[in-house]
Amino acid sequence: MDSIHLILLRIFRPILDVTCAVACTAYENMGCNCTKEKLVLNSRRFYVQKRLGEGGFSVVDLVEEGPTGKLFACKRIMCHSKSDEKVALEELEYYRRFAHPNLIMLEESGMIPRGDICEVLLVLPFYRRGMLQEALDKLKENGQHYSQTQLLRLFKGICDGVRELHNAKPTAIAHRDIKPHNVMLADDDSPVLMDFGSMAPARLEVVGRSEAIALQDTAGEKCSMLFRAPELFHVESHCVINEKIDIWSLGCTLFNMAYLYSPFEPIYMKGDSIHLAVIGRNFKFPETSEYAPVVNDLISSMLVVEPMERPTIEWVLDQVNNMTAEMENRV
């Protein structure tokens, strides 16, 4: 480099440095997404802000849409095979199938090829209030509980979403993994059932040991143990699995919402067999409760080992509505 170039560089380098610094600061103040990963789905641009969570089969990122600045949660499912892709697309179809205030709704979707694999993207609403489980954890930390009115209102919303699934046409759908972790809280505090990755046709006839083992393995992967119905722990070689598995999970969920732990959590914490506890219906209500006895009666009616003896979602909702009406009449 000759002397004149060196002189020019000494003169203009400080100016360039300041100009770059000012430009970068301006971009940051404007919320610039230049350095963030960009996802383009059907001409809509989403910029990844941060990782919200990771599961066994997917991750969830917080994304911001440009130029609106609206925040969403993007579920990203990496598919390493055609079978993985088929499962992801089946989940996508479940999101597309339902539009109900108590079921999470799909905002946008797409598929991005990445070499020999692909990524299925599901853009979903972002709930600032977070999961129902987080609200329960906060209550526990503060030594509080939901009032019976709050408890029944939240539970009714969850049941309304489940009824939409169980009454789906032409085929009833079971969620198969209902639990407080899979319920989001909207800004108006209404519950929204999420995570459709465990969904399947509600009624399934199992014929033969190989089918039974396959369903049992799937349940082990996708259905949380503390909320899993007895018939999914050991699937019989010849049986029919139906939507009553969700009723069991609803019983565990209502218990968890009322008493801030799963009915079988004490067994789990001791390291004893959850399977034996579930089929033996080995759980206990707290000795003292601020709720009316009918709340425990409702939980007990759902936590019945024999599926045929469990109530339907319609019956459960009738009981919740009757309990709510009785409380209102007292006031």
Instruction: Collect all residues with Cβ–Cβ distance below 8 Å to 181 and sequence separation of at least 6.
Output: 131, 132, 133, 224
Q: Apex CA 57: angle with CA 51 and CA 59, to 5°?
A: 10
Predicted pLDDT of residue 26: 37
Predicted pLDDT of residue 302: 98
Predicted pLDDT of residue 242: 97
Place of tokens 């069991």: 248
Question: Quick check: 57 and 80 in contact, CB under 8 A?
Answer: no
- Show which residues are catalytic: 177
Amino acid at 308: M
Q: Residue 120: enclosing H or E segment and its boundaries?
A: strand 117-125
Instruction: Collect all residues with Cβ–Cβ distance below 8 Å to 226 and sequence separation of at least 6.
Output: 179, 252, 262, 264, 265, 268, 274
Predicted pLDDT of residue 18: 31
Predicted pLDDT of residue 116: 83
Question: Quick check: 161 and 171 in contact, CB under 8 A?
Answer: no
Kindly list the structural domains of the chain, giving each domain's residue range(s) and its CATH number in brackets, ordered by start. Answer: 38-125 (3.30.200.20), 132-330 (1.10.510.10)
Of 62, 50, 58, nearest to 78 by C-alpha is 58
DSSP 259: H
For residue range 57-106, list pLDDT tens digits in order: 799 999 999 989 999 999 999 999 999 999 999 999 999 999 999 999 99
Predicted pLDDT of residue 113: 87
**Dihedral in degrees, nearest 10, Cα atoms 215, 216, 217, 222:** 80
Stated pTM of the model: 0.87
Burial class of residue 285 in the structure, from the number of CB atoms within 10 Å of its CB (0-12 exposed, 13-18 middle, 19+ buried): middle
Instruction: Collect all residues with Cβ–Cβ distance below 8 Å to 107 and sequence separation of at least 6.
Output: 72, 123, 124, 125
For the chain, which ranges sit under pLDDT 50? Answer: 1-30
